A and B are shown apart, each in its own frame.
Chain A
Amino acid sequence: MNGNDIQQRSSGIQAELGKPAFRWDRREWLLLAVVILLALLFGLTNPHFLTVENLLNILNQSTIILLVSLGMLAVIVSGGIDLSVGALASLVGVVTVVMMNDLGIPAYAAILLGLVTGGFVGLLNGFSVSRLKIPDFISTLAMMSICRGAAFLISGGYAVRTEDRLLVSLYNEKLGPLTLPIVVTAAAAILMFLFLGRTRPGRSMYAVGGNRHAALLMGIHVQRTVLLSYSICGFLTAAGGILTASRIAAGSPTAGMGWELTAISIVVLGGASLFGGQGGVLGTVLAAILLGMINNWLSLTGMAWWLQGFVQGALLILVVALNRRILSEKLSSWRSGMPASGER
């Protein structure tokens, strides 16, 4: 009848037997395989790599960008994009520190306000995209300028130091063998996993990104979903910004440069499509860890730091190019059974 490939048929049959089909070609498997492979490879070439200390170090270094990537995931799944994350993180760091220094606000309140600021800016992004109908690329690009400018303005152009014990300790605080950043990021990842996987607003994000028209026809509040996705992104970015401020013990207006493109890379590597409707927390986490591992190994072995960018770029292109092959085959069998083109 139509061009069903063998995979589809077997998964269809399996599905009929009462189990969800098991897919071997999911991005998560590929990433996991690569992570394990590289871990072994790196471990062989460098004895320091596979130590517990180093592995924890890798996780620790990946936390901030992973937080931002998780936020970016929500936006990309809904079919959007957010270029303002780096600038926002910087702004939040600056705002938080300045509030403590100049306004005498206690640390925990300042942190809270910083998070709120992030969520608010995210809301503005969402409003601009969904209500003002400004294309997301331009909208968030403009916001990036605004946030960056504001960060410079408020900080006076220089990194603003802080010696507040609470803030500074956040990054280095240890909870058992794990650091606070790891715990916080893990918690965020789990919450996002549950949110995107199990809640109505979360699933609506996939619907809006995957088939916006159908989502609309089915009564999903598309605008609300988009607003929410950008707000979540702003919030998680703010968390990243605060941890950064903690790490460098300052609010820096130059922090966060290039974060948006790295976060997008991680999310796309993790299986998301820039068109929306695809991707997941597991893939994003694995991709972040993968990149973290590569960066770590490169510095451990004294390999030039410049290679990081190269590998990241090459990896991104390779993975997307390969996946499109597989994806286009699926797409053609999805379409081959459809009614004749356009005849009505």
Chain B
Amino acid sequence: MEKRILNPATFVFRREYAMLAVLIVLVAAFSISSDKFFSVNNFLSIVNNAAIGGIIALGMTYVLMIGGIDLSVGSVVSLTTVMLGQFLVHYPVDTWLAMLIALLTGVTVGFLNGLLVVEAGVPAFIATLGMMMMVQSVASFITQGATTSLSDFRTIVLLGQGYMGPVPIPVLLFVIATITLHVLLTRTIFGVKVRAVGGNAEATRLMGLNVRAIQYAVYTMSGLMASLAGILVAGRLSMASSQAGSGWELQAITVAVLGGTSLFGGQGTISGTFIGALMVSVLFNGLVMLGVPYFYQLVATGCILIAAMVLNEFLRKG
């Protein structure tokens, strides 16, 4: 039995507390240096900006936890907005039906990813990379490069830009998604199975569990989250565009990793991802408040990521 100086039973919690502490420090620092920072409006704005990327990151967390990866989420966002454009403007159907179709695209892409990984044995990186290219080109094909305005569709716009009382709807959806996926992971048998597959897929198989089904489920869910985010993007931009989703996949992975999810599988929490999403948003928001040019923000994100990983390594060695 190994002896450890830090009791690693609390390690997972420790990491989240550490990230939470970092978040609080950031908030404090920014509040001091800019009086516009510490306001309810601004905080709502921060969470609002974190919402869309955060929803994608939630799905990505599950995928990373079973040792996989999903590079196709950005393209799913794009395709989702495009689908909305198609079925609201060009071949109009009922708004809710259009949204359902949009969600189904994500589910389908996710399922196809699962198919490639489970049945064809293609490494997740390659499978989702190839899928990303294909989905993106399908989106470009449908739009022929043109964007479609969706500003006439109140429901969509409301979803992306509307409020329920003081709370922006994307924030609401993000929080609901976080709670749902958190409960799913920690209290349902599905969640236990996901953590089992991520921790030791072979032992899980030997115990008779259906590892393949879990893999399918996780990839499909990632696709679903991406298309949910896509609807919100369409609402926020009031537009359907084949470029709407570019870059979101790496953003989502960054957020998940910042939140403590391991790229190798087996470790990760939804609450960690939530904190990670907030952290990134706080950083961007704070820097903007300070008048720091956009470009420094990119540099800052990179540095924070490296710092977080070094901290992670340090904590692990105990």
Q: Are chains A and B touching directly in their complex (CB below 8 angstroms)? A: yes
A residues apposed to B, CB below 8 Å: 83, 128, 132-135, 137-139, 141-146, 148-153, 157, 261, 264-265, 268, 274, 304-310, 312-314, 316-317, 320-321, 324, 328
Q: Which among A146, A151, A304, A312 is the interface contact of B303 at CB below 8 angstroms?
A: A146
B residues apposed to A, CB below 8 Å: 71, 116, 120-123, 125-127, 129-138, 140-141, 144, 250, 253-254, 257, 263-264, 293-303, 305-306, 309-310, 313
B122 touches A320 (CB 8 A): yes
A321 touches B134 (CB 8 A): no
Residues of A contacting B298 in the complex (Cβ-Cβ under 8 angstroms): 145-146, 148-149, 152
Residues of A contacting B125 in the complex (Cβ-Cβ under 8 angstroms): 274
- A interface, over-half SS: helix
A314 touches B130 (CB 8 A): yes
Max chain A Cβ within 10 angstroms of own Cβ: one of B254, B293, B295, B305: B295
Query: Which residue of B has the minimal Cβ distance to A260?
Result: B250
Residues of A contacting B123 in the complex (Cβ-Cβ under 8 angstroms): 274, 320
How many cross-chain pairs have Cβ atoms below 8 Å apart between A and B? 137
| CB contact under 8 A between A143 and B302, given known A274-B126, A321-B121 | yes
B250 touches A132 (CB 8 A): no
B121 touches A142 (CB 8 A): no
Q: Which among B133, B140, B257, B294 is the interface contact of A312 at CB below 8 angstroms?
A: B133
Q: Which among A148, A153, A306, A316 is the interface contact of B137 at CB below 8 angstroms?
A: A306
User: Which 7 pairs of residues, A with B, have the shortest CB-CB distance?
Assistant: A149-B298, A313-B133, A145-B302, A152-B295, A309-B137, A149-B299, A306-B140
Max chain A Cβ within 10 angstroms of own Cβ: one of B132, B133, B296: B133
B133 touches A310 (CB 8 A): yes
C-alpha spacing A317/B72, complex, angstroms: 13
Residues of A contacting B121 in the complex (Cβ-Cβ under 8 angstroms): 321, 324, 328
Max chain A Cβ within 10 angstroms of own Cβ: one of B71, B131, B301, B310: B301
A146 touches B129 (CB 8 A): no
B313 touches A137 (CB 8 A): no
B313 touches A141 (CB 8 A): no
B129 touches A261 (CB 8 A): yes
Between A and B, 19 residue pairs with Cβ closer than 8 Å are A132-B310, A135-B309, A141-B253, A142-B301, A152-B295, A152-B298, A153-B296, A261-B71, A261-B133, A265-B129, A265-B130, A305-B140, A306-B138, A309-B136, A310-B141, A316-B129, A320-B126, A324-B120, A324-B121
